[in-house]
């Protein structure tokens, strides 16, 4: 058992392994409870179960911010982002047990999407008539203009944040990723100068990046 590498989040590993062992090999736990000892046969079974469980265990190596960052790169509405984050969070934590990660992920995506947008629709239905009555009223339109400017600033901040981590993957002290910068410049030129559609640009950049990483040297 010493040669098996235990993931860093050992508490979750131990809890889920005990559940896995009880589900797959209940005779091991029953034998330990009855005799208070671990036989050679039970030890061999535990080693096999540990190897099987570790093959399916997915350690939590990154925080929620990485899922959100990856979700933000998709050219879609917010519901795609929250559904992605909900799926990854429930999938990696195996909320329904180690044997049903996909089911947990789907449930997490549904829950995240439902509870994110239910309040929004309630606000729209209940406050819609009031909003319509404020058209042309400077007391309401002026703050909304400021909010719009703030949202643009947030989008710009996200663009700078993502560019930093893409162009300098190891931080400013590491190497500069010239290939990513070249692809980003080409995408900017295609969108701004040549008015190319967003989907063709994303597919082209993804294809070029795939070729770059697959071709040796």
pLDDT the model gives residue 70: 58
- Indicate if 46 and 95 belong to the same structural domain: no
Whole-angstrom distance, CA of residue 66 vs CA of residue 46: 34
Pair (83, 33) in one structural domain: no
Give residue 6's pLDDT band: very low, low, confident or very high (50, 70, 90).
very low
Q: Which of 108, 111, 115, 112 is nearest to 91 (CA)?
A: 108
Q: How far is CA 115 from CA 79, 112, 157, in A?
A: 11, 6, 26
Same domain, 73 and 129: yes
Both 71 and 29 in a single domain?
A: no
pTM for the structure as a whole: 0.44
- Considering the domain boundaries, does residue 125 fall inside one? yes
205 pLDDT more than 90: yes
Residue 128, class by beta-carbon neighbours within 10 Å (0-12 exposed, 13-18 middle, 19+ buried)? exposed
Residue corresponding to tokens 């239905």: 125
- Of the residues 78, 113, 133, the one at which a domain ends: 133
Whether 145 maps to a domain, the answer reads no
How does pLDDT run across 86-119, given as a tens digit for each residue?
888 888 887 887 788 889 999 999 999 888 888 8
Is 182 a member of any domain? no
| Domains in the chain, number | 2
Structural domain boundaries enclosing 80: 63-133
Do 73 and 102 share a domain, yes or no? yes
Pure H helices in 3-100: 10-24, 26-35, 40-56, 64-72, 78-93
Question: Residues 11-52: pLDDT tens digits?
Answer: 677 777 788 878 888 888 787 777 777 778 878 888 888 888
Unique residue bearing structure tokens 């009555």? 133
- Cβ contact 105:91 at 8 Å: yes
Q: Given a cut of 60, is residue 10 above it in pLDDT?
A: yes
CA dist., res. 75 & res. 91, Å (int):
23
């Amino acid at each position: 058992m010493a040669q098996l590498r235990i993931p860093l989040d050992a508490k979750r590993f131990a809890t889920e392994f005990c559940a896995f062992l009880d589900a797959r090999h209940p005779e091991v736990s029953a034998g330990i409870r009855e005799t208070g000892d671990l036989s050679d046969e039970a030890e061999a079974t535990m080693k096999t179960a540990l190897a099987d469980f570790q093959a399916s265990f997915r350690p939590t190596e990154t925080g929620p911010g990485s899922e959100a960052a990856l979700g933000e790169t998709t050219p879609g509405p917010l519901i795609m982002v929250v559904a992605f984050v909900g799926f990854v969070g429930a999938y990696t934590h195996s909320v329904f047990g180690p044997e049903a990660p996909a089911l947990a992920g789907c449930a997490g995506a549904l829950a995240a999407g439902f509870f994110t947008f239910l309040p929004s629709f309630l606000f729209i239905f209940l406050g819609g008539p009031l909003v319509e009555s404020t058209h042309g009223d400077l007391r309401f339109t002026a703050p909304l203009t400021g909010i719009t400017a703030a949202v643009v600033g947030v989008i710009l901040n996200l663009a700078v944040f993502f560019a930093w981590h893409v162009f300098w993957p190891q931080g400013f002290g590491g190497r500069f990723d010239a290939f990513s910068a070249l692809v980003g410049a080409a995408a900017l030129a295609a969108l701004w100068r040549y008015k190319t559609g967003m989907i063709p640009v994303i597919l082209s950049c993804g294809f070029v990046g795939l070729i770059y990483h697959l071709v040796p040297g």
